[in-house]
Amino acid sequence: MQRRELLKLIAAEPLAGAAGRLIAAPAAEGARLLVVFLRGAYDCTSLLVPTASDFYYASRPNIAIARPGQPGGALPLDGNWGLHPALAQSVMPLFQQKQASFIAFAGTDDLTRSHFETQDSIELGQALDKRRDYRSGFLNRLAGVLGAGPVTDVSPIAFTDQLPISMRGSAKAANMALAG
C-alpha cells in the first residue's frame, strides 16, 4: 500500500482517532512544509464543504455553499466534500496535482469554548491536562527534531507581525512582517 492510499484511508475514518495522528513521510529532496493558520473569520464548512450532508444544508439555509453543479456551487473533491468556488484558481489546482489535501474533523479536545484558548492549544500542541509552556510551540519543537540550525536545510520562518506561538522555542526561527 502506498502512503497516499494509507492517508486517504485514515482521513476517511476520522472518528476512529487516526486523523489526528501525524504520519511522517520519508525525507525528500527539497521537501517543504507550509502551515497556514487562519485566524478570525475563517469558517471551515465554507472552505471544505460537506456536500453530501443534508444536515449542513438544512442548518445553513441562507449561507450554505451550493452543491457541485449548481450556480456558485462547491468544486467537487469527492462524493462527500467540495471546495469553496473562490479557491478554483489557487487551492484546487494544488489538490488536483496531489500537492494539497484536507483532513475533515481534525481538531482539538479543548472544550473551553474560548476562541483564544483554542488557538493557543493548537499552536502549543501540548496536552490540555498539564500546565502550558508558552515558550514551546509545536512547529519549533518539530524544527528542533528535524535539526534546525545554520548548517542544516531546516529553516523555519514566519510571516507575521510577531513570532507566532507555534514557532516559539529553542530552535532559531526567522520572522518577517508582511506589512513591512
Please name the amino acid found at residue 151: V
Q: What is the pTM of this model?
A: 0.59
The CA-atom distances, in angstroms, between 39 and each of 31, 81, 84, 97, 169 are 26, 23, 18, 27, 21
Q: 32-36, 116-120, 142-146, 165-169: which has the minimum mean pLDDT?
A: 32-36
Higher pLDDT, 120 or 65: 65
Those residues with Cβ within 8 angstroms of residue 151's Cβ, 6 or more apart along the chain or in another chain: none
> Mean pLDDT, the chain, as a whole number?
79
Residue 26 has pLDDT above 70, yes or no: no
Higher pLDDT, 46 or 5: 46
What is the average pLDDT across 5-10?
48
Residue 69 has pLDDT above 60, yes or no: yes
Residue 150 bridge partners (DSSP): none
Residue 6 bridge partners (DSSP): none
Neighbours of 61 (CB within 10 A): 7
pLDDT computed for residue 87 by the predictor: 93
Share of the chain above pLDDT 90, in %: 34
Residue 15 has pLDDT above 50, yes or no: no
Share of the chain above pLDDT 70, in %: 76
